[in-house]
Amino acid sequence: MILDTSDFDKKFDLICKGIIPSRTKVGLVHAAQQAMIDADTIEPKTPHLEGNLRGSKKVGLVENSKKEFSIEFGFDQPYAGALHEREKPTNWSEEGVGPKYLQSKLARFMDKYKRIFGLAIKRGKK
């Protein structure tokens, strides 16, 4: 019996070096975008009556090298971190907003974000 794996070898290289990395990038962006939506819609929500915090959402892919990349996401306002970390009692501008408006979603919905990421790799979602 002879098993010719040449076709598999060619396609495997394409999958490992092209398809999986590109789908990984898409999956990371989609998961981060969903986390940002959750920060605005699920308590504790992102404050919005103090400046333009909700409008400053930022999701960006960082290419560290051809084989390594990461995602940066958050709110692009100088006061975003101070509001996020505020622990002292605060009179928030609206009902349902509060500190840890992004971090709490990452801890609470990590499985959801992993599913979004995994589906992008599996289906090639764009």
Binned at pLDDT 50, 70 and 90, residue 91 comes out as confident
Neighbouring CB atoms inside 10 A of 106's CB total: 15
pLDDT score at 65: 78
Per-position b or e across 15-48, b if 16+ CB within 10 A of its CB: eeeeeebebeebbbbbbbbbbbebbbeeebbbbe
The mean per-residue pLDDT over the stretch 71-98 comes to 81
Nearest to 53 by CA among 62, 34, 40, 71: 40
pLDDT at 25 over 70: yes
pLDDT at 115 over 90: yes
